[in-house]
Structure 1
Amino acid sequence: MSDINSHDPRTLGKSLCIITGASRGFGRALALQVVHLLEPGSVLLLVARSGAQLQEVKDELQNFRDEPERQIHCITADLSTKDGVEETVSVASQEAEKELDHVLLINNAGSLGKISSFVSFTDPKEVDSYMSFNVSSALALTAGILQMFPRRPGLRWTVVNVSSVYALEASPLWVLYCTAKAARTMMFKVLAEDEPNVKVLNYSPGPMETEMQEKVREITGTSVDVMACKDSAATLIKLIIDNEFPSGTHLDFFES
């Protein structure tokens, strides 16, 4: 059986790493950095709704000729549906018999939603649809993966929720986004309490140059200084490797 201390502490070890929303933006940047830190025998699962964009990311990752042997799988799935969650869990479960050092789940998938006044949301179905993708799917997926990889000696467990400053601060017109981010943050705080063997991090990556940020600028007519996704991704990966944060905490890029 693997010894959790036997791998290079500067890497993520022999890992199963699952990244949702991996086809673009922050998820893509995470995949491009994580792949360098996976030891031989590791598996990287990239999950998103766009199969074509996922394949582009996979092709780019496989161009790293000097990387250690590892498998990369693309899962085209809509995580707002039961089928999408079950398919992702099913693919991940195929690695359950491996002697892994580390299971790392990064819940990055999410959407901006409608930016509008509070009183415009009169249709429960519209709200439910948004919450299904942005809250319910992260809970169901994380629970399913946890069941597939129960506690055992030598296995390190890390769950990351990609959060936002809006999980902690209210903003006019952002009722859906703020509510979902706040709910997800509390949800993963509860996970930290329920599962002491799982290290949980709520990470707010800061304003980044993404399609979502472009959409915000178009809708609101405002802009903020943004950073490259790779810079915030590097900070998150360092936090995971150092493993010094209290489980369940909420950390912002600018606090790290």
Structure 2
Amino acid sequence: MKRLIIVTGSSRGIGRSIALEINRAFNSDSSFLLLARDLESLESVKGQMVIDSKAKNQIHLVQIDFSAQYEMSDYFSILKNTLTSSQVEKFNEVIAIYNHGTLEFGSVSLIAQENLRQKFETNLFSIWSLLSALNLFIPYSLVPKQTHVNISSGYANEPVANWSGHCCARSARDMLFKCFALEQPGFKILNYEPGIVYTDMLKQACQFSNDYKDGYTSGRFNMPEDTARKLVEIIRENAFLSGSKIKFN
């Protein structure tokens, strides 16, 4: 089987671990499309993936800033310019993991005083546009076996003071994928909550929360490779209900 695997935000943190783990799980006959802002880190991920798969997988890198206000047509062009028609015709499966995002702090009033479009571009609009572009570029009629995974957050369902930007964007992301599951009943759609993971984003949260700081130093949180391994297991088993949400722990 020739499969296309897309991982966004794959240069570090959870995205990096997902790319490495899913490459090990599908270590041949797969084409990867890794998208992130840091090209040097992407190259590092690619290097490890080549070693792990013994160069049996194709790996394409796209340097992209998801905070830029790209339209759906821009993402469609990226896909078209990266993957040739002959490659696309050979795909029997698509696995797309939408991982990229930022952590925004500030009160409701403070966030509203800033550029809301820019705040939500990375965390919501870019994902919406990329999802739409991919659905147009490789529709169900061409490749019916598709899995689309949104890397969600516990704060998609839990309000937190001064986290309004993060909570609202993550909640909207979850709903976007739930709606997509209804519109595309042939696909498998998942909102995956990875838990609190040791990443640069967690370091950022520690600056604003003593609870996070205490948990960080005590080793209470999850390692990115553990939650990535769990996600790959879920994808491989393919037993989840489309449109559902699964938590790591």
Taking every aligned residue pair, what percent have the same amino acid on both sides?
29
CA RMSD in angstroms, aligned pairs only: 1.9
Query: 2:79 — aligned with what?
Result: 89
Asked whether 1:22 is paired with 2:27, we answer no
Query: Do the aligned partners of 2:94 and 2:143 also contact (CA within 8 Å) in 1?
Result: no
Query: 2:63 — aligned with what?
Result: 76
Q: Are residues 97 and 153 of structure 1, via their aligned partners in 2, closer, same or farther at CA, if it must alter by over 3 Å? A: closer
Gaps of 5+ in 1: 1-12
Paired AA for residue 237 in structure 1: V
Paired AA for residue 19 in structure 2: A
Query: Do the aligned partners of 1:17 and 1:44 also contact (CA within 8 Å) in 2?
Result: yes
CA–CA separation in structure 1 for the residues paired with 2:37 and 2:207? 24
Could you state the TM-score of these two structures normalised by the residue count of structure 2? 0.89
Which aligned pairs between 1:108-187 and structure 2 lie closer than 5 A? 108-113=99-104, 115-123=105-113, 125=115, 127-152=116-141, 155-187=144-176
Paired AA for residue 95 in structure 2: L
Asked whether 1:45 is paired with 2:40, we answer no
Query: 1:209 — aligned with what?
Result: 198
Query: 1:105 — aligned with what?
Result: 96
Could you state the TM-score of these two structures normalised by the residue count of structure 1? 0.87
Match of 2:210 among 221, 225, 228: 221
CA–CA separation in structure 2 for the residues paired with 1:205 and 1:88? 28
CA–CA separation in structure 1 for the residues paired with 2:28 and 2:41? 25
Give the deviation of 1:68 after TM superposition.
6.2
Q: Are residues 102 and 92 of structure 1, via their aligned partners in 2, closer, same or farther at CA, if it must alter by over 3 Å? A: farther
Asked whether 1:31 is paired with 2:22, we answer no
Give the deviation of 1:152 after TM superposition.
3.7
Give the deviation of 1:40 after TM superposition.
3.4
Asked whether 1:251 is paired with 2:241, we answer no
CA–CA separation in structure 2 for the residues paired with 1:246 and 1:67? 34
Paired AA for residue 240 in structure 2: F
Task: For residue 90 of structure 2, give the secondary structure of its aligned residue in structure 1.
Answer: coil
Higher helix share: 2
Gaps of 5+ in 2: none
Give the deviation of 1:222 after TM superposition.
2.7
The structure 1 segments of at least 4 consecutive aligned residues displaced by more than 6 Å after TM superposition are none
CA–CA separation in structure 1 for the residues paired with 2:163 and 2:80? 35
Task: For residue 204 of structure 2, give the secondary structure of its aligned residue in structure 1.
Answer: helix
Paired AA for residue 75 in structure 1: V
Give the deviation of 1:122 after TM superposition.
3.3
Query: Do the aligned partners of 2:124 and 2:173 also contact (CA within 8 Å) in 1?
Result: yes
CA–CA separation in structure 2 for the residues paired with 1:122 and 1:141? 25
